[in-house]
Amino acid sequence: MKVAIFSTKPYDREFLTNANSALTQPHELVFHETQLNPQSALLAQGCTAVCCFVNDHLDATALQQLTNLGVKLIALRCAGFNQVDLVAAKNLGIVVARVAEYSPHAVAEHALGLILMLNRNLHRAYHRVRENDYSLNGLLGFDMVNKTVAVIGTGKIGQVFAKIVQGLGCRVIAYDPQPAPILAANGVNYVALSDIWPTADIISLHCPLDKNTHHLINADAISLMKAGVMLINTGRGGLIDTPAVIGGLKSKKIGYLGLDVYEEEGDLFFEDNSNLLLQDDVFARLLTFPNVVITGHQAFFTREALTAIAAITLANITHFEREELSQMCIVN
């Protein structure tokens, strides 16, 4: 099948090409660096499938364009699918498939990395030592043992994350409309969302972005949190109302903020903008806080995850070509 791959980076090309060459019937992969949007959709001319990533714009207009070109499948090479207008895709008869699971460990371990970095001020210590400054003022951390960590969303990633922090001796509480029995059996205490805010020392977000979770972290929720709470978001940027979080940082209600995702990341992340002026004033404000660490949507970025993403994405395409829809991970 001929597939137009959008938002391609060198590592996408490498892992997808390697996985494709291992297939008995390889696909014809056409790589494009540009994001998919209503204008660039024309690049899918002659392709039956497009392969997209987290910040491609799959709104109704782009989907209509793809339909006009004869595209029948959107193979997402990610787990989240909030970037796709699923209703429009369904109405147009376009199948949307995703990679439901590749490495929950990659994301969960990155969340832990953000926590330890913020707690022990590793981002500041790194620079101090390189400047011949070995003073410890301002680097004071806390023991993780016995702290209460809240996991919001206990699917694949949330479950791995809960296990990791239990290993550090943390007390784990969780909220999920569909609790995981295995976690409950292993000492995780499921509570109402309203009980998370006043109880948690650390809150980590692992739920999908949808209409129920949009701005889950807002001014009201922040007002109920423990003073000095640590907030970690490796889920999706839209889970957080960023101006409200900036307010929480300024009032010191939020003591630490670790982000791998940002609501307006589509204009920033995955690109080298070091020669450009930063135009996003909200993001610029976040960068001024010493107790904020931001990574550019890299939690998924491990060798194991990219290998699995490439293999599963191509398997989805192969199954679609063979009309084996039941073997695909279809989201619409």
Q: Which residues bind ligand NAD (CB under 6 A)?
A: 79-80, 104, 107, 152-158, 175-178, 206-209, 212-213, 234-236, 260-261, 297, 299-300
Q: Which residues lie below 8 Å from residue 185, measured CB to CB, with a gap of 6+? A: none
Using alpha carbons, select from 27, 54, 45 the residue that is nearest to residue 237. 54
Q: 277 by DSSP, 3-state: which?
A: coil
Catalytic site residue from 57, 77, 206, 236: 236
Give the nearest distance from C-beta 140 to ligand NAD in angstroms: 29
Select which of 98, 263, 265, 319 is catalytic: 265
Is 324 a catalytic site residue?
Answer: no
The nearer residue to ligand NAD, 181 or 290, going by C-beta atoms, is 181
297 is annotated as an active-site residue: yes
Residue 265 is a catalytic residue: yes
Residue number, 235 or 248, with CB nearest to ligand NAD: 235
Q: Among the options 77, 98, 171, 297, which is catalytic?
A: 297
- Smallest separation, CB 121 to ligand NAD (Å): 23
Cβ proximity to ligand NAD: between 80 and 113 the closer is: 80
Specify the residue for token string 């300024």: 250
Query: Closer to ligand NAD at the Cβ: 44 or 268?
Result: 268
CA–CA separation, 284 and 263 (whole Å)? 13
Where are the alpha helices (H) located in 225-327, listed in sequence order? 242-250, 281-286, 303-321
Residues 6+ apart with CB under 8 A from 102: 79, 300, 304, 305, 308, 309, 312
CB of 148 to ligand NAD, least distance (A): 17
* Smallest separation (angstroms) from ligand NAD to the CB of 136: 32
Residue with tokens 């976690």: 183
Helix segments in 120-173, DSSP class H: 122-130, 156-167
Select 147 or 236, whichever has its Cβ closest to ligand NAD: 236
Q: Which residues of 110-135 are buried (b: 16+ CB within 10 A; e: fewer)?
A: bbbbbbebbbebeebbeebeeeeeee
The minimum distance between CB 156 and ligand NAD, in angstroms, equals 4
Q: Which residues are catalytic?
A: 236, 265, 297
